[in-house]
Structure 1
């Protein structure tokens, strides 16, 4: 029997698995733009669950602002410290100015030069996973985005393991103090590096960013905050997508065989992996003008939360959305967002995932799930943090 009462999107443990998709389906069908006021929260927000409404919010940079925070649970003081200094919490004209600089390292020309290195890293990771199977495949997968983004950013090889560890702590630690501490350590790391580079110009990546100023140079704070953002964006989300994709292929060997037989291109499977995994579960905006979204009249100052995980399962956009289909066509998922805040690293992420799938088809015969996968329980950066999948040569 279909549930008649509104599900609690903040029920303890809801995001410990995948049960939240049923809650999203209820809201899409019954209350797609709903007012939410979780227990203990000082103020409520509008919850957006349908694809068309999510897109309209993301594309409206005039009436919807990012400067008040882009996630639930963020503190005003923390957001205020980075507002209009960090791409994800900035609006035009600051966002336009900074994005013009930070998009350059992810141009087609730069990524073309990085492709050979990406393939080398992927091949080494797959070979290592076959040679030394661990009870948690993520311990292998996490090397791919970490090694690639660290190499692109020109970070010292000796720091990569520490960077991967701190990035994971900053997002996944159950301790708020540990998350804050990890973020602070990452900020300090880049603050020291930016200061050193002002004197020596030893890091070509940072030097390139400071050279592209169009007469309006980036401040040290803008460099530090956005270097941290690039590291996080290039690390955590790709790892979650790789893990989710591997779980689905292990659970649905027929889908894996479609790729191996060449019936489905790795590029198409990559898009389905991105739609399915949704590492960025929600994004928040704040209305600065009165605006209508769906049937709701949103007032200035009210928060608006778009659920990407729901939009990617919208029945009006995706045929049979609850089925994992590597051959899905017209896959207009929103895992990289939409509008001005479309993810800078989307092309790099696609390159890594596609290279991984292509390498798997040449080196791996099958994969088996040998335990219970576990999710991190976050309603923001959501995904697997334990994946007992073993690869077989």
Structure 2
């Protein structure tokens, strides 16, 4: 996207996923999502006339995707890149405050960084749920589903399942195994998982090396949304080494 448009797209994404949060009351989620789709529709038309080396042009040149396919993929990439990882990053600061031993442990043993990143994704679980459609009649957990029935999987609940994770509400930087569903599963596995891991790992590495502690300036402010588990505010102060 042109750099001049990025702040506008971030604001629209905030409103599209802000739910009933009073900080995002300029438009409804449906109105914001419509604006995002209209934006990409116009951008796609422009790239069809003037292709470049960007992702939109690459998708259009593939030949196997319709214009509608490209539109939905642009929407997914924007949302996945902006709306989830930033809440995991914010949650990482919350983790460092609630579990102050983490920074020292990672400073002493950087080899635990990869495990710590996976635990950030599990503990924060920004993507709250996914909608799937049953491809055949089946039974899951004693409940019967017919082919074509919509099924919602609550990822944040699965990631706190005490049958799968010991002390599920506690952040354990060395948790292993850690088969969380923060990035989904199967053919719908998160396209940006590798990038999210890189971002979180680098932030954790830098914080563990340069910070003694993270403190809250006030209580966390949670978004009022059933789409994204995230923060509308988390004021912190950092005690630098």
- TM-score, structure 1 length as denominator? 0.56
Which shows bigger deviation, 272-281 or 290-299? 290-299
Instruction: Tell me if the contact between 2:106 and 2:113 (Cα under 8 Å) persists in the aligned partners.
Output: yes
Asked if 1:169 is matched to 2:21, the reply is no
The answer on whether the counterparts of 1:264 and 1:326 sit within 8 Å (CA) in structure 2 is no
Spell out, residue by residue over 1:274-324, the C-alpha distance to the aligned partner (whole angstroms, 9 max, x if none).
001111112222335321112222234543221211211223322222221
Would you say the 8 A contact 2:222–2:231 is kept in 1?
yes
What is the CA-CA distance between 1:350 and the residue it aligns to? 0.7
CA contact (8 A) 1:266 1:354 kept: yes
Which residue of structure 1 lines up, in the alignment, with residue 48 of structure 2? 198
Give the distance between the partners of 1:264 and 1:366, measured in 2 at CA: 20
CA displacement, residues 85-107 of structure 1 (integer Å, 9 cap, x when unaligned): xxxxxxxxxxxxxxxxxxxxxxx
* Separation (CA, whole Å) in 2 of partners of 1:295 and 1:180: 35
Q: Does 1:383 align with 2:230?
A: yes
How far residue 173 of structure 1 moved from its aligned partner, in angstroms, is 4.8
Higher RCO structure (Cα 8 Å, ≥6 apart) = 1
**Change beyond 3 A, Cα 1:337–1:391:** same
What's the CA shift string for 1:27-46, capped at 9, x where partnerless?
xxxxxxxxxxxxxxxxxxxx
Distance verdict in 2 for CA 1:293–1:361, change over 3 Å: same
Structure 2 residue corresponding to 1:185, chosen from 25, 35, 39: 35
Listed one character per residue, the Cα deviations across residues 119-166 of structure 1 (whole Å, up to 9, x for unaligned) are xxxxxxxxxxxxxxxxxxxxxxxxxxxxxxxxxxxx222222222222
Q: 1:364 aligns with which of 211, 225, 230?
A: 211
Q: Secondary structure at the match of 1:289?
A: coil
Alpha-carbon distance in 2 for matches of 1:168, 1:353: 21
What root-mean-square deviation, in Å, do the aligned CA atoms of Structure 1 and Structure 2 show?
A: 2.0
Structure 1: runs of 5 or more not aligned: 1-154
The CA deviation at 1:176 is 9.3
Residue 128 of structure 1 corresponds to none
Other structure's SS at 2:191 match: coil
The answer to whether the aligner puts 1:304 opposite 2:151 as a matched pair is: yes
The DSSP-based 3-state class of the residue aligned with 1:248 is helix
Equivalents in 2 of 1:354, 1:299: separation in Å?
A: 42
- Indicate the SS of the match to 1:180: helix
Matched residue count: 236
Counterpart CA distance in 2 for 1:339 and 1:233 is 17
Structure 2 gap ranges (5+): none
Aligned residue for 1:365, secondary structure, equals strand
Number of the residue aligned with 1:327: 174
The ranges of structure 1 where at least 4 consecutive aligned residues each deviate by more than 6 angstroms after the TM superposition are none
- Please, what TM-score do these two structures have when normalized by structure 2? 0.89
Alpha-carbon distance between aligned partners in 1 of 2:35 and 2:133, rounded to the nearest angstrom: 29
Contact 1:191 1:224 in 2 (8 A): yes
Q: State how far apart, in whole Å, the 2-side matches of 1:177 and 1:380 are.
A: 16
